[in-house]
Structure 1
């Protein structure tokens, strides 16, 4: 029990010392609430591992998965020996990798897949493996989904099969 509390405090410190984490799971921004069965902070590798029923919420968005790894960029000018950061700071979030029964839900859409990766550098989410995207009553299924957030561009690939879609013209715009 004490170990779980300590791990939770390490994660809170890691995120708190990270400075402005520009990676967002919600367009609203705001605090990010994280729940998981296990939290492990790998400071030298600038990663936080979350395992077991991971549930991340921010604003009106929710990310659920079996495992999530949060990768942090190195803080400029804060590298110590062997590249470890000084004073426990991580830097900005640069990538979030979710694996195993991944669900991403906002008021506008629901997406699911076996793996999801959010890259801050190009503001994209890529989901792979039995992907489904639902907006209102429209449904698209395939093997690889790429969402370019800023460009509002979505690409769905069928992989070894074909991409499938059901579009309901009567659903709201």
Structure 2
């Protein structure tokens, strides 16, 4: 009984190149409207971007992305449609019971993909997974963590 547990813990703690995980407990609605809140907004008509600063929180369905600064890139020729969001500084992505932290993130709104970079920490209940980057498909709830992956699994946890 002890041997399988030790083997699982050793394998979980061994750094790996990539690890696939489920994220958010369920799929996020990537067709839901994107709600943006911040203390400040600066719009650049020339390049079709906007910069949000101060307590930035972006929500879409059950997903929340927060950061110190977010640059909104609009679709070419359509200032009403967001193409992507680039977040930097204290980035947190929360979906369902799962949360991830990183230094930066890019959210491809149309594709429903979020890429977190820089000291990524994924928390799922009491379990923790770290790595250099994490790519999350919000439509399927699947995530992949890459680069110096490390897992800490709590005994008896799911």
Pairwise CA distance, 1:74: 1.8
TM-score scaled by length of structure 1:
0.65
Q: Which blocks of at least 5 consecutive residues in structure 1 are unaligned? A: 1-25, 76-88
Partner residue, 1:27: 29
Q: Per residue, is there more helix in 1 or in 2? A: 1
Structure with greater contact order relative to length (CA < 8 Å, sep ≥ 6): 2
The residue correspondences of 1:100-119 to structure 2 (distance < 5 A) are 100-119=89-108
* 1:48 CA displacement: 1.3
RMSD in angstroms over aligned alpha carbons? 2.3
Moved more, 66-75 or 114-123: 114-123
Partner of 2:129: 140
Query: 2:157 matched to which residue of 1?
Result: 171
Cα 1:151–1:109 change in 2 (3 A) is same
- Structure 2 residue 130 is matched with structure 1 residue 128: no
Asked if 1 retains the 8 angstrom alpha-carbon contact of 2:30 and 2:139, the reply is: no
Residue deviations 1:63-91 (CA, integer Å, cap 9, x gap):
1101001111123xxxxxxxxxxxxx504
Q: Greater strand share, 1 or 2?
A: 2
**Aligned pair partner of 1:154 in 132, 143, 156:** 143
Aligned equivalent of 2:87? 98
Deviation at 1:151, TM superposition (A): 4.5
Taking the aligned partners of 2:37 and 2:141, their CA distance within structure 1 comes to 29
